[in-house]
Structure 1
Amino acid sequence: MNLYKGILKITTVFVVIFLLASCDDDFSNIGGEIIENPAGVQLREYDVNAYTVDLKSVQTNISFSAGQRIQNTKLLGVYNHPVFGEKTASVLSQVRLGKTSPEFPEGAVLDSVVLNLPYFSTKTFDDEESKYQLDSIYGEGGFKLSIRESRYFLNDLDPSEDFEKPQKYYSDQQPLFEQFLTDDNIYVNENFVPSADRIRFIGKNDEGEADTTYTAPALRVNLNKDYFQQKIVDKEGSAELSSASNFTDYFRGLLFKAEPLSNEGSMILFDFANTSSGINLYYSYDKETKNDEGETVNKKVIDSLGLRFGANIVNTFEGEYPDQLRENIAGASENLYLEGGEGTIGVIEIFNDDDLEGLKSENLIINEANLELYVNNDLMNGANAPKRLYLYDLNNNSVLIDYSTDLSRNQNNPFNSRTIFSSLPVTNEETGETKYTLRLTQHVINLIENSDATNVRLGVAVTSNIEQIANVGVGESTPEIPGDDKLEMVPASAIITPEGAVFYGTNASNEDTRLKLRVYYTSTDL
């Protein structure tokens, strides 16, 4: 048997080489069970069992590693999705002091307190003037934005686990957090709308001449100066500012709360760990110095103290699905509903026992195996399709072997990497149908060749970054997945996008767009 498998593997190499040498037209004539081409590649389609799981509660206090830098990306705002309805995202963040035991010079006056949260953006040029195109912003309307101090203490470690494991916080905990808000309004904007305008700074250069500089667009606003005067400046020399732990207990966090208005709203992805993200307290004081004539004069000096956001930051979500959509998700629908945020994922079960045993008993070389998901445009109500889909081993919360072996990279845009494993959406210009192709060739080969391999459930989710493969915990979901392998984790990259789409499922009436497993193979029987 091992010898036979070895022969099959060698044969596979020659067949693949032959296929690569074949012209593209050989693969465009798929009209049924057999692909008419010299290599004799054939196609079988297998029905799969697929259904939607509604994530009622997911862990959201997790950061990502992007190269050598940590990202703590969270959604903030209101997004009215044409299919999934209105969702609101707020953020509760720890705050840390940039410098412990800060000292303010005698006579220092707090001039302003500025919050800065850069948008994700791309720099362009128009008539030699730099302009920016915003990214990761969903919707074009406004929302009410308020910032208040929270007295809720965010633990880094879980007390129930003897402080040996990280504390998990979930997307449905905003009602709890709001019980601990103070009465102080640090910032309120009744209609906040993100802007692509660059930030202008007017200052002086080294020669003392007026100079104007610019930075990328950001949520940059003035906060309540009196609040920070009492909270920080007036506490100079106190125990509260003497150490990081004391300060964390003293100033436990800020709640960035979004509330819907009558317009469509907008939702923004922010990186709270960005080096430019934080709050700066700008103060001024007079300092004695000598002028060019040697006279003693007072010179106004401007300095600042920085506050940065802590590692523990929680995204909360509020909103309900429309009644009809909730019924479709819970019932035996013909569609698969996938949405990011505190949304939904798809569960896919490939091969029943008979189909898998049948494949094992035949002398076949598996050339390619794909799941093809077609967007149901009739139910999208004009919504944009998500950028990518992510397929994974749901039983073990791990990547598939096809993900690991796809080495395709896009250095200019890493979000478009691994396009062999998970294709970019492709729209047929004639039919208008949009399709996503998810490759699981090696996964299927392993199921056939490895007697110890388990036919695991597969999960499929929307993702804003195919390179992020971390998982987060699930607090509650429906329906409950049968069997021993419960839904305990989901891809973290699905939580940081509100995008979603409706796909034709396994019971769709249209045979051409129905969700199926397509296996391309070559028979070695002579």
Structure 2
Amino acid sequence: MTHTIKKTITALCLMILGSILLYNCEPDPDSLGEQLFLNGAAQGKEEAFPVIAYNIDNNDTIRTDAAKLAYGVLGAFDESQFGMQKASYLTQVKLSTYDPDFGTNAQVDSVVLVIKPRFASDSVTTNTVDDNYTYTTAADGAVNAKKVVNTYPALKFGKAKRNLTIKVHEVTTFLKSASDTVKSNASFEFDNTRELGSKVFNGNVSSVAITKDDGGTALFTASTPGIRIPLDKQFFQDKIIAKKDQPELSDASNFIRYLKGLRISVAENDGYLFQFSPNDMEMIMYYKYETTGSTTKTQTSYSFVMGSGNAHIGQYQYLRDNSFKSKLASNMRLYTQGMGGPSIGIKIPESTIIDLKNSYENEKAGIISAKIRLYIDPQWYKTNYPKPSEFTLLRKYVDPSTTGATKVRAGFTNDLLKLGGIPGFTIFKAYDNEANDKHYYDFTVTQSIKEMIEPNSKLETDKTETKYLKIDLGSFEKSPDGTSLVGYKSTTTPYNTTRAVFIGDASNLDNPDRVQLIVTYGTK
């Protein structure tokens, strides 16, 4: 798929350059279409056509194993339209060294779990908490310094000014491997009788910096700001230190069946949702041990492996109003929500296709631009919750090269495949008209519509018709180098915390804000 995207983008760029050199004038509207009419440059007649819009009920379930979660989600949020959504997180723990030697008479002093939420790096509050701090270095000994705390607001969706109580428990179900497929509603047992740790989170994260009084040189700068949760040191004394030289600590296979993992959750059922990086989590055990011939115990620490290679699982819980299923079925309003909530489906009806084909054949009307327009429900807009800034658009189409069950397939739209690399191209654009309180999104389907009605479209490379589209919250994941998309199944939807309500009501043709196909076309 990556190769196909790169290949089509390269070919299209050559086509555009060639057209400019040959003609040095505006091409026919139906020759290259969307890519030459971006950023409001299109000139032609605009007309609205009806489409069928409907809710897709995903049964509040989505795949949330390690392969799908670049970020984890914690928290809970309850509001009237979508009900309560609550997110917990399960993770395996591994030893950084197996069959570890903790020394003689090792004793745990403390254990801390560090979670690093996404935060607003441009909204820092700096406080000097100690002007007379003494910092000891190996080179200079005791140095007069200042201890400074930088505080940042975590990025949240929901009621931001609330506290959440983060709790940690031991998982008692084997989590298998990081490559196993797991759904968000999967059940895993945990020891609810013993809380390993808790922390009241006020929505902010902090980092500490220590600077030298003389000259302000940085003596110590903490890593990424995070939430530090103290854990039960006796649990680790019994579970880890006491098992020195035992089979439980001898290798990874034994250990993940012995300490099966941790469950991280919040006590509250309302507040906000926030994202954090699973691979940046830390768990550090601070302990001391005796050394031969010394009466003073040596202080040291041991770090566990929490990141890549471990099983990570997002667990999502929903509590919907009894009327929610009925609201989805009515399609009067369209509901979309990340993390397994509903999606929006769009069908291009035969009557619309016939009308467009008639215009093409009888009036020689070539499509310049085609958009699916969705208006935000005014009542939802007034809630002032953050409006979505990420969407995915997929197509379901009939592939004539296959037979049977595989004949109907899903994938990227041809707009994205063929135009994705053109400067200025986007899958969607948001528009706000505060004067008449109109807020809507336009989703690009130019190439998809052209291939339905213009059999000789110069950009057409296959005969696959797109009549069904699916809209989800989230974005397509990019490759590590950022130059291509991983694949149409790789999206941020499993951990996207936003949601939105749009106007549906496809049956009411008198409603100017109903979902429509907006086509701009010109004639030869």
Q: TM-score, normalised by structure 2?
A: 0.74
- Alpha-carbon distance change, 432 to 465 in structure 1, aligned in 2, over 3 angstroms: farther
Question: Alpha-carbon deviation of 1:256?
Answer: 1.6
Q: How far did 1:389 drift?
A: 2.3
What whole-Å deviation, never above 9, does each CA across 1:5-47 have from its counterpart, x for those lacking one? Answer: x9xx9999624699999999987xxxxxxxxxxx5x1223221
Q: Which whole-Å CA distance do the structure 1 matches of 2:163 and 2:444 have between them?
A: 39
Distance across 2 between alignment mates of 1:301 and 1:384: 47
| Cα distance between partner residues in 1 of 2:473 and 2:70 | 19
SS class of match (1:55)? coil
Of the candidates 134, 138, 142, which is equivalent to residue 154 of structure 2?
A: 134
State the shift of 1:510 in Å. Answer: 5.7
Q: CA deviation at 1:117?
A: 1.1
Comparing 449-458 with 384-393, greater Cα deviation is found at 449-458
> What are structure 2's unaligned runs of at least 5 residues?
1-14, 128-147, 398-408, 480-484
In the TM superposition, what is the alpha-carbon distance from 1:167 to its structure 2 partner? 3.1
In structure 2, relative to structure 1, the CA distance for the partners of 1:197 and 1:94 (3 Å cut) is closer
For residue 521 of structure 1, give the secondary structure of its aligned residue in structure 2: strand
Instruction: Tell me by how many angstroms 1:131 deviates.
Output: 4.5
Q: CA deviation at 1:98?
A: 1.7
Aligned-partner residue type, residue 195 of structure 1: G
Q: Which residue of 2 aligns with 1:270?
A: 276
Aligned to 2:49: 46
Q: CA deviation digits over 1:360-406, x for unaligned, max 9? A: 63533221111111101124550332222221114533221222323
Q: Verify: 1:91 aligned to 2:102, yes or no.
A: no
CA shift in 2, pair 1:226/1:14, >3 Å: same
Please provide the CA RMSD for this pair: 3.8
Match of 1:236 in 2: 244
Alignment of 1:11-410 (within 5 A): 14-15=27-28, 41-56=44-59, 57-63=61-67, 72-124=70-122, 130-140=150-160, 141-156=162-177, 166-173=179-186, 176-178=187-189, 180-181=190-191, 183-189=193-199, 192-200=200-208, 213-261=221-269, 264-274=270-280, 277-287=281-291, 298=296, 300-309=298-307, 310-331=309-330, 333-352=331-350, 354-355=354-355, 357-358=357-358, 361-362=361-362, 363-380=364-381, 382=383, 383-394=385-396, 396-404=409-417, 405-407=419-421
1:439 is aligned to 444
Superimposed CA distance per residue, residues 39-65 of structure 1 (whole angstroms, 9 cap, x where no aligned partner): 5x122322111100121122111435x
TM-score normalized by the length of structure 1: 0.74
Shift in Å, 1:97: 1.6
2:367 alignment partner AA: I
Indicate if the aligned counterparts of 1:389 and 1:436 stay in contact, CA closer than 8 A: no
SS of equivalent to 1:90: strand
Check conservation: 2:334, 2:344, Cα contact below 8 A. Answer: yes
Structure 1 residues 105 and 384 mapped into 2: Cα distance closer, same or farther (>3 Å)? Answer: same
Q: 1:279 is aligned with what amino acid?
A: M
Amino acid at match of 1:196: N
2:469 counterpart of 1:458: yes
For the 8 Å contact 2:107–2:237, the answer to whether it is kept is: no
AA partner of residue 175 (structure 2): L
Paired residue type of 2:283: I
Say if 1:21 and 1:91 are closer, same or farther in 2 by CA, change over 3 A. Answer: closer
- CA deviation vs aligned residue, 1:312-353 (integer Å, no higher than 9, x gap): 22212112222333321122x322111111200011111415
Q: 1:46 to 1:298 in 2, by over 3 A?
A: same
- For the 8 Å contact 1:285–1:300, the answer to whether it is kept is yes
* Cα offset, 1:182, TM superposition: 6.2
* Matched residues, number: 446
Contact 1:171 1:315 in 2 (8 A): yes
Alpha-carbon distance, 1:145 to partner: 3.0
How far apart, CA to CA, are the structure 1 residues paired with 2:98 and 2:38? Answer: 67
CA offsets, 1:112-139, max 9 Å, x none? 1110111112434567975434225543
CA distance 1:376–1:256, change in 2 (3 Å): same
1:512 is the counterpart of 2:519: no
Partner amino acid, structure 2, of 1:146: K
Whole-angstrom distance in 1 between the partners of 2:507 and 2:207: 52
Q: Distance in 2 between matches of 1:297 and 1:233?
A: 21
- Of 119-128 and 376-385, more deviation after overlay is shown by 119-128
Contact 2:335/2:500 (8 A) holds in 1: yes
Report the secondary structure of 2:222's partner residue: strand
- Contact 1:88–1:259, Cα closer than 8 Å, also in 2: no
1:370, 1:517 within 8 Å by CA — same for their partners in 2?
Answer: yes
Where 1:329 maps in the other structure, the secondary structure is helix
Distance in 1 between the 2:85 and 2:223 partners?
A: 31
| Code of the aligned partner of 2:428 | S
Contact 1:80 1:265 in 2 (8 A): yes
Alignment CA distance shift 1:49-1:25 (3 Å): closer
